[in-house]
Structure 1
Amino acid sequence: MARALAAVVLTLTLAMLATAAEPVKVVYHVNEGLEQATRAMTNIRNHLSVDPTAKIVVVAHGRGIDFLLKEAKTPSGSPFVTDIDELALRGVEFRICRFTLERRNIESSRVVPDAKIVPSGVAEVARLQSVEHYSYLKP
């Protein structure tokens, strides 16, 4: 009996350690334009400063895609692509909605290189939450 109990305790301990080692996974949902994108970038930097192992995916659709276009500027006038590149080097992934690009007649060549085009932004947010168990944040 004592051996069985010890085996159960060991198994539970190992399971807890394995779970604790997994990174936090978060999807940041951006769909409201440049002001929201600016807040998201600040939130993500802050997030990574306290949890550098976090797995972060930014999904943009609607007006939220504007910051992922090559010509986009921050409120201070600097190119958004600089901030995007910096965060991509830290492991942040950026995804942009193909439906929005098509609806707004925006050529994919205008999208920053670090952004991956996905078929649907809202479907991607839902998939990340339900299939990959990402937490949802909307700045």
Structure 2
Amino acid sequence: MDSEHTRRRVLELAGVGTGLALAGCVGGGTDAPASTGDTASPTSEPTETPEETDTATETETETPDPTMSTVFHFTGDVSQQEHALGNVSNLLADDTIDLDDVVLLVNGSGFRLVLAEQTEHAEKLTELLDEGVSIRACENTMERFSATEDDLVDGVGTVPSGVGELTKLQAGDGYAYIKTP
């Protein structure tokens, strides 16, 4: 078959009128036949008709949205604690998001949120822990406050370094980062 006839046959099989030309298609713009190793060369039988393509597309199932993990970073003062806890609660209540894991990491001035003797929000922290939120305190900050794990609200964990934990969660584990007031 000559290359012009081949081009016309390919266009016909693709459902394109024969009055159109495809640039860079079969034969690379010359009348020389395509080499046997050329994957773009047509075959005598199409491997897939347009009808088969449409059917295959219709039967494919949608990929579900991926689950997400989020880390909230709280370094604010006492006046911002309720707002920070509200942000975490709002994310948990959002039914449009498929959450895998939520972490609340406190360091700096935000550390007072998890100190059992200083926080006014121990009950809310316990509720968040019961809902599966992992609450973590920076051990460097604990040292600065002369606090131990016994001084924390029950269930609050510790990490050696708040900034190290944030780095690990974001870069290594793919967590979304939210700086909360």
Q: Would you say same fold, with TM above 0.5?
A: yes
Q: Could you say which residue in structure 1 is the equivalent of 2:25?
A: none
**Percent of residue pairs bearing the same amino acid type:** 28
Find the counterpart in structure 2 of residue 65 from structure 1.
111
Instruction: Tell me the amino acid that sits aligned with residue 41 of structure 1.
Output: L
Rounded to whole Å, the distance in 1 between the matches of 2:106 and 2:117 is: 16
Q: What is the aligned partner in structure 2 of residue 131 from structure 1?
A: 172
Aligned counterpart, 2:151 = 110
Does residue 38 (structure 1) correspond to residue 79 (structure 2)? The answer is no
Q: Secondary structure at the match of 1:91?
A: coil
Q: Does 1:120 align with 2:161?
A: yes
| C-alpha deviation, 1:53, in angstroms | 4.5
TM normalised by structure 1 equals 0.79
Q: Structure 2 length normalisation: TM-score?
A: 0.62
Q: Which has the larger radius of gyration?
A: 2
- Rounded to whole Å, the distance in 2 between the matches of 1:28 and 1:35 is 17
Confirm or deny: 8 A CA contact 1:72 1:81 kept in the other structure.
no
**Alpha-carbon offset, residue 13 of structure 1:** 4.8
**Structure 1 letter corresponding to 2:139:** R
Q: What secondary structure, in the 3-state scheme, does the structure 1 residue paired with 2:147 have?
A: coil
Residue 142 of structure 2 aligns with an amino acid whose one-letter code is L
C-alpha deviation, 1:33, in angstroms: 2.2
Structure 1 spans left out of the alignment, 5+ residues: 75-79
* Stretches (4+) displaced over 3 A: none
Aligned counterparts of 2:107 and 2:57: Cα–Cα separation in 1: 47
- The residue aligned with 1:82 is 123
Other-structure match for 1:26: 70
> What is the alpha-carbon distance in structure 2 between the residues aligned to residue 50 and residue 95 of structure 1?
22
Q: Corresponding residue for 1:77?
A: none
The number of residue pairs the alignment matches comes to 128
Q: Which has the higher helix share?
A: 1
The residue aligned with 2:92 is 48
CA RMSD of aligned residues (A): 2.5
Name the SS of the counterpart of 1:138 in structure 2.
strand
